[in-house]
Amino acid sequence: MNCDMCGKESILMVALVEGTEMNVCSQCARFGKIVRKVQEAQAIGKKKAAAKEEKPEEEIIQVIVDDYAKIIKDKREQMGMKQEDFAKRINEKESLIHNIESGRFKPGIVLAEKIENFLGVKIIEEYKEEHLTKKPDAGEGMTIGDMINLNK
């Protein structure tokens, strides 16, 4: 394990430095009061816990299908409705419906859900993306010793 102050890898002790318990090496322990030695089992347990935390995060993204305009127009015509009637029924402007059906305007998720519910079609797809999050190891972070060296 690495010292919280200087970053040196060695046998560590828990010391009270400026009112804070820190895992420090024997050289840095002189800056505080030694409370106890860090047990190896405790250190190994922390590494295992950190390894378990590296689970991928799932993110669900909703997107409008590419052929949304054709799907909406075909279903509206199949129901025997004009653009004007359809617009009134879903409480939107006729010009908006015209632009959506001609492919000039891609509806947002809320409007697409409203259209899906009224027409009974599916124009929203869900994709799952997994993001791996890597937690920094104890030795990868910046220590107090690193900050002191930056000021030199």
CA 117 – CA 92 distance, rounded (Å):
14
What confidence tens digit (pLDDT) does each residue in 12-67 have? 888 888 888 888 888 888 888 888 887 654 544 555 555 555 566 778 889 999 99
Quote the pTM value.
0.50
- For residues 121 and 72, the answer to whether their CB atoms sit within 8 Å is yes
Per cent of the chain over pLDDT 90 is 41
Q: What is the model's pLDDT at position 66?
A: 92
Q: Concatenate the DSSP letters of all residues of 118-151 into one string.
A: HHT---EEEEEEEE---PPPTTTSPPHHHHHHHT
If one compares 55 and 125, the residue with the highest pLDDT of the two is: 125
pLDDT at 102 over 80: yes
In this predicted structure, what is the pLDDT of residue 129?
Answer: 78
Q: What is the mean pLDDT of residues 77-86?
A: 94
> 59 has which bridge partners?
129
Please, what are the domains in the chain?
1-55 (no CATH), 60-130 (1.10.260.40)
**Range with lowest mean pLDDT among 50-59, 63-72, 83-92:** 50-59
The SS3 of residue 24 is: strand
Residues 6+ apart with CB under 8 A from 87: 93, 94, 96, 97
Across the chain, what does the average pLDDT equal?
82
What residues are paired with 128 via a beta bridge? 60
Residues near 39 by beta carbon (within 8 Å), at least 6 away in sequence = none
- What does the pLDDT read at residue 152? 60
